[in-house]
Amino acid sequence: MSDGVAVRAIRVLVADDQLLIRAGLAALLRAAPGIEVVGEAASGEEAVRLAWSTTPDVVLMDIRMPGLGGIGATERILGTPRPPRVLILTTFDLDEYVYDALRAGAHGFLLKDTPPDRLLAAVATVAAGDMLFAPSITRRLIESYAGRAGRAGTGPAADLGGLTTRECEVVRLVGTGLFNGDIADRLQISEATVKTHLNRAMSKLGLTSRAQVVVLAYETGLVVPGHAE
């Protein structure tokens, strides 16, 4: 809040079919400075409707809900003009649906038993445009399900042939779970240059989130499970 300019509150939509969890999350967020809860959804269908009508910055999305689940709701929400960021809520850090949520474009995932201070920090992180995955969790998650999905083996040329050598390298390092600053250090270039290469690669590949870059790096064989370093 420099020069007396007010910072707009982060608008959050909470989607969870369990009333106590939903109400608890909403109460925690409402009590935090700089966050405004714009809606509470008890189903995926309601989450889609509220995301359209309330224009949140971040959606806290439960991955398992009856009817339209978190993955389907995420796909619909991210397919709208000027979509919000979606932070998936899950019970287990290797939930079988999280890989599919990443492919749908989710911007991160958070365990439901995450401490309150970390949850608030996660909302701010995702709202700022970052992807919320620790590198170790990213590798465990994608390696576990890339093989199960059976999508490996086509080789990177088919999907990545339009990338420059540097763009391909940045995509590979994002796939290993590194953040932009780490990639800049590794390649001895500026963080701004890393962002430029990544944005150009995403545009060429038709991707809308960093999470999708991670998934594609594994699916194309650019990063091989068990050899992510």
- In this structure, the answer to whether residues 99 and 165 fall within a common structural domain is no
| 161 located within any domain | yes
Q: Looking at 102, 132, 162, which one is the last position of a domain? A: 132
- In this structure, the answer to whether residues 44 and 119 fall within a common structural domain is yes
pLDDT at res. 90? 81
| 187 located within any domain | yes
pLDDT at res. 154? 43
**Edge-first strand listing for the sheet containing 85-90:** 35-41, 10-15, 58-62, 85-90, 108-111
Structure tokens at 39: 């809606």
pLDDT at res. 155? 44
- In this structure, the answer to whether residues 66 and 171 fall within a common structural domain is no
- In this structure, the answer to whether residues 85 and 123 fall within a common structural domain is yes
- In this structure, the answer to whether residues 127 and 157 fall within a common structural domain is no
| 164 located within any domain | yes
**Cα separation, 212 vs 205, whole angstroms:** 10
pLDDT at res. 152? 45
| 141 located within any domain | no
pLDDT at res. 95? 57
Per the structure, the count of domains in the chain is 2
- In this structure, the answer to whether residues 77 and 185 fall within a common structural domain is no
pTM beyond cutoff 0.85: no
| 142 located within any domain | no
- Pairing, β 85-90 against β 58-62: parallel
pLDDT at res. 169? 95
**Cα separation, 146 vs 149, whole angstroms:** 5
CATH of the domain at 64: 3.40.50.2300
- In this structure, the answer to whether residues 124 and 173 fall within a common structural domain is no
End-to-end CA distance of the chain, in Å?
39
- In this structure, the answer to whether residues 20 and 122 fall within a common structural domain is yes
* CB-CB contact of 193 with 81 (8 Å): no
CATH of the domain at 186: 1.10.10.10
pLDDT at res. 147? 58
| 181 located within any domain | yes
- In this structure, the answer to whether residues 105 and 196 fall within a common structural domain is no
pLDDT at res. 216? 85
Residue 105 phi/psi, 5° resolution?
110, 10
- In this structure, the answer to whether residues 31 and 118 fall within a common structural domain is yes
| 111 located within any domain | yes
Cα-to-chain-centroid distance, residue 152: 22
Residue 211 domain boundaries: 153-219
Q: Mean pLDDT, consecutive 10-residue segments, the chain of 229 residues?
A: 66 95 95 96 95 95 90 90 88 67 81 86 86 60 58 50 93 84 92 93 86 81 67
- In this structure, the answer to whether residues 88 and 171 fall within a common structural domain is no
- In this structure, the answer to whether residues 114 and 162 fall within a common structural domain is no
